[in-house]
């Protein structure tokens, strides 16, 4: 962050030239630890909107932000940071990290990005007792006052930056995340990366994996370990209800796997190590190539490591794995960064008015199409992370194509060469070549 303050172009040059090495530092898993210790490392704030300040707090906050041409806002209330839970104002590291990826991965101008935390308190007693905690020292508010503050923020953001300003909801608890997405998706240009981005990157990996396992997606039986937040009655929430199936009551994951024999096992409950050797071996006992997605982050919350998955089926980022026969496999990281930066870039460049689920499906298909046979042979179901900038370009182009074909793009005239237009409009981290003849240097003997 100090380098970013001193020399922004150099910061992004380092990031882009060393993406595979720097991604885990800029975002997961390091960002989780950074958020947990945010009070110790606090240097430069983003923008904070708070319940305990004056009325019209969001309007005043946005008016004070020095940049006037903001095109993308990432906003959180800090209630569900990664798999770490309620970190309150310490969650600012997430919008800051996400927007750094907007620029590094998709070339969105850094001056057009704004990180925001809506501070409504925290239920994390450790933070409330922390003398360095920078947020409101009150229990979290989730009532009408909270809804009014979010509404005020949305209204103020559009009034300040225009209707085309993209707003990304990030790390809201499920009980707020889904209802805010439904409330605002057709009123503003918004998406929720935890809902739509995560789904999209998972679908991309599944689509690519079908080229290994064969068959259609409908031929597969998917078992999710964790269904997110359930109602107090114990049933799944409405948007997941259509995927639930009646079955005997079972609480042991291994018993469930033996009973229903899924072809794909997807971990999404942030329970580290839950995919045990016995579970992985059981999946391999009735699948030639079981699909194992350990999606939880940070790395400490991953359901299993790539090495464990490869080893026990005979077949966040992990190192390449060398099998007993000498074959080296390169595990892919099912990271949302394959999806959301490209979607954001396409939305900004082509003036997409509303971001539908279909756009994220198009992004998933595009990402999966970039997985080559060589990648599959290496054990990858995602393109190498070093190629993620190219993935973003292709996704942005496809978002534009979809937008024009469905009447939701507002940039006119339509560019004749969509991909070329995307490349030309991306932020450049390159320095101009030095011309020694530019200056009238003193002549020497």
Residue 170, annotated ligand binder?
yes
Residue 308, annotated ligand binder?
no
Three-state secondary structure call for residue 72: strand
List, in sequence order, the alpha helices (H) in 324-387.
340-350, 357-369, 373-377
The per-residue DSSP string of 20-65 comes to HHHHHHHSTTHHHHHHHTHHHH--S--EEEETTS-TTHHHHHHHHS
Q: Measured in whole angstroms, how far is the alpha carbon of residue 354 from the centre of its chain?
A: 19
Residue 433: CB atoms within 10 Å: 5
Residue 194, annotated ligand binder?
yes
Cis peptide before 298 (omega within 30 of 0): yes
23: tokens are 């991604």
Measure the CA–CA gap between 279 and 153, rounded to whole angstroms: 46
Residue 80, annotated ligand binder?
yes
Q: Measured in whole angstroms, how far is the alpha carbon of residue 176 from the centre of its chain?
A: 18
Measure the CA–CA gap between 108 and 69, rounded to whole angstroms: 12
159 is catalytic: no
CA distances from 85 to 40, 174, 294 (A): 19, 11, 18
- 224 phi, psi to nearest 5 deg: -100, 125
Any idea of the CA torsion for 423, 425, 428, 431, to the nearest 10 degrees? 100
The per-residue DSSP string of 342-359 comes to HHHHHHHHHT-S---HHH
Residue 5: CB atoms within 10 Å: 10
C-alpha triplet 115, 426, 418: angle, nearest 5°? 120
Measure the CA–CA gap between 164 and 410, rounded to whole angstroms: 9
Residue 335, annotated ligand binder?
yes
Measure the CA–CA gap between 73 and 77, rounded to whole angstroms: 13
Least Cα distance to 105 among 18, 225, 175, 46 occurs for 18
- Residue tagged active-site, from 12, 38, 71, 98: 98
CA distances from 425 to 108, 132, 134, 199, 317 (A): 8, 41, 37, 28, 30
301 is catalytic: no
- Residue tagged active-site, from 27, 48, 102, 404: 27
Binding-site residue numbers for a divalent metal cation are: 170-171, 194
The residues annotated as belonging to the active site are 27, 98
Binding-site residue numbers for (S)-malate are: 80, 297, 335
Binding-site residue numbers are: 80, 170-171, 194, 297, 335
């Amino acid at each position: 962050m100090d380098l970013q303050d001193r020399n922004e172009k150099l910061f992004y040059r380092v990031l882009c030239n060393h993406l595979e090495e720097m991604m885990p530092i800029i975002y997961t898993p390091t960002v989780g630890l950074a958020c947990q210790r945010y009070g110790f490392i606090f240097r430069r704030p983003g923008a904070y909107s708070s319940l305990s300040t004056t009325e019209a707090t969001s309007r005043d906050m946005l008016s004070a932000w020095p940049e006037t041409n903001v095109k993308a806002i990432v906003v959180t209330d800090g209630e569900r940071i990664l798999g770490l839970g309620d970190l309150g104002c310490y969650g600012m590291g997430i919008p800051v990290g996400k927007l750094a990826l907007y620029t590094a991965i998709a070339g969105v101008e850094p001056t057009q990005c704004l990180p925001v935390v809506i501070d409504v308190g925290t239920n994390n007693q450790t933070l409330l007792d922390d003398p360095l905690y920078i947020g409101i020292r009150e229990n979290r508010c989730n009532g009408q006052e909270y809804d009014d503050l979010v509404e005020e923020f949305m209204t103020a953001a559009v009034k300040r930056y225009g209707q085309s300003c993209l707003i990304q909801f990030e790390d809201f608890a499920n009980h707020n995340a889904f209802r805010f997405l439904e409330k605002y998706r057709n009123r503003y240009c918004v998406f929720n990366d935890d809902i739509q981005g995560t789904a999209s990157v998972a679908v991309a990996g599944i689509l690519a994996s079908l080229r290994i396992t064969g068959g259609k997606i409908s031929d597969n039986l998917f078992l999710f370990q964790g269904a997110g937040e359930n109602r107090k009655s114990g049933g799944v929430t409405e948007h997941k209800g259509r995927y639930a199936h009646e079955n005997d009551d079972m609480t042991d994951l291994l018993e469930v796997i033996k009973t229903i024999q899924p072809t794909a096992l997807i971990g999404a409950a942030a329970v580290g190590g839950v995919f045990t050797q016995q579970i992985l071996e059981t999946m391999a006992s009735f699948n030639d190539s079981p699909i194992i997605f350990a999606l939880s982050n940070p790395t400490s919350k991953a359901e299993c490591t790539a090495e464990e998955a490869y080893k026990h089926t005979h077949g966040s980022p992990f190192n390449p794995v060398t099998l007993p026969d000498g074959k080296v496999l390169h595990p892919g990281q099912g990271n949302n960064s394959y999806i959301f930066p490209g979607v954001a870039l396409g939305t900004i460049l082509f003036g997409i008015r509303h971001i539908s689920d279909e756009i994220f499906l198009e992004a998933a298909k595009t990402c999966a199409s970039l997985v080559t046979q060589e990648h599959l042979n290496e054990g990858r179901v995602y393109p190498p992370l070093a190629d993620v900038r190219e993935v973003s370009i292709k996704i942005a182009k496809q978002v534009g194509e979809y937008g024009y074909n469905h009447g939701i793009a507002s940039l006119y005239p339509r560019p004749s060469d969509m991909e070329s237009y995307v490349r030309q409009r991306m932020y450049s981290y390159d320095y101009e070549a030095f011309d020694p003849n530019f200056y009238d240097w003193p002549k020497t003997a």
